[in-house]
Amino acid sequence: MKKNWIQYSYLFTILFFVLGFFNIVFAWIGFFCLILPFVFVIKDNKKTWCQSYCPRSNLFNRLFAVIGNKRTAPKWLLNGKGKRIMLTYFAINFFMICLTTLMVFLDKRDPLEKVRFLMAFQLPWTMPNLLDIGAMPDWVVHLGFRVYSMMLTTTIIGLLVGYLYRARTWCAICPMGTLSSLALRKTDAKLKVFH
């Protein structure tokens, strides 16, 4: 039963982006993808999320089983440089998300109700907001747009490298994968101290 739904976890990725068209507040679901890898590291002392559940890697596996070049990625992408670039991007993006959300919360700036690629490039469409779920505080809407933008950016990059190279090339540079590896190393080190 468990195996059955894991096969279809890629649907969560698609659902996430579709739900954003209904109401951007659904993008808050993206926080699960930020938190769950660490929950599993703490619970199982291994990267269960990456190995079994991650909807995004499941999408890449599925999609690039039928299309894509299936070539080995260049060394710079796999040898740590790619990881550092993506981790730096993620840290800056996360910091900016927190800062701007705080500014909106404090009424010091207007919410940015646009989807952006790589923080700077505005995408040429407006989210249609097909489902009215009532008035939401500006900072909640702002955060929804920012999380949606971050998830979209990383998914587009993942799709690009997955198409150009092997299906899960993104996993070699994914900030969540990198950070959960670091968390795992810390957990291991702690366990060694206690034994």
**Interface positions with ligand SF4 (CB under 6 A):** 37, 49-50, 54, 56-57, 170-171, 174, 176-177
When the beta carbons of 56 and 142 are compared against ligand SF4, the nearer one is 56
When the beta carbons of 90 and 127 are compared against ligand SF4, the nearer one is 90
Shortest approach of ligand SF4 to residue 99 CB, angstroms?
24
When the beta carbons of 56 and 166 are compared against ligand SF4, the nearer one is 56
* Tokens describing residue 133: 């779920």
CB atoms closer than 10 angstroms to residue 26 = 20
Assess contact for 16 and 29: CB atoms under 8 A. Answer: yes
Comparing every residue's Cβ against ligand SF4, the nearest one is 177
| Buried/exposed 157-194: b ≥16 CB within 10 Å, e otherwise | bbbebbbbbbbbbbbbbbbbbbbbeebbeebeeeeeee
Phi and psi at 74, nearest 5°, equal -60, 155
When the beta carbons of 144 and 177 are compared against ligand SF4, the nearer one is 177
Shortest approach of ligand SF4 to residue 6 CB, angstroms?
12
d(CA 172, CA 82): 8
Shortest approach of ligand SF4 to residue 182 CB, angstroms?
12
Task: Count CA atoms within 13 Å of residue 69 on its CB side.
Answer: 11
Q: Which residues contact 42 (CB under 8 A, 6 or more apart)?
A: 183, 187
Shortest approach of ligand SF4 to residue 180 CB, angstroms?
7
Shortest approach of ligand SF4 to residue 35 CB, angstroms?
11
When the beta carbons of 100 and 165 are compared against ligand SF4, the nearer one is 165
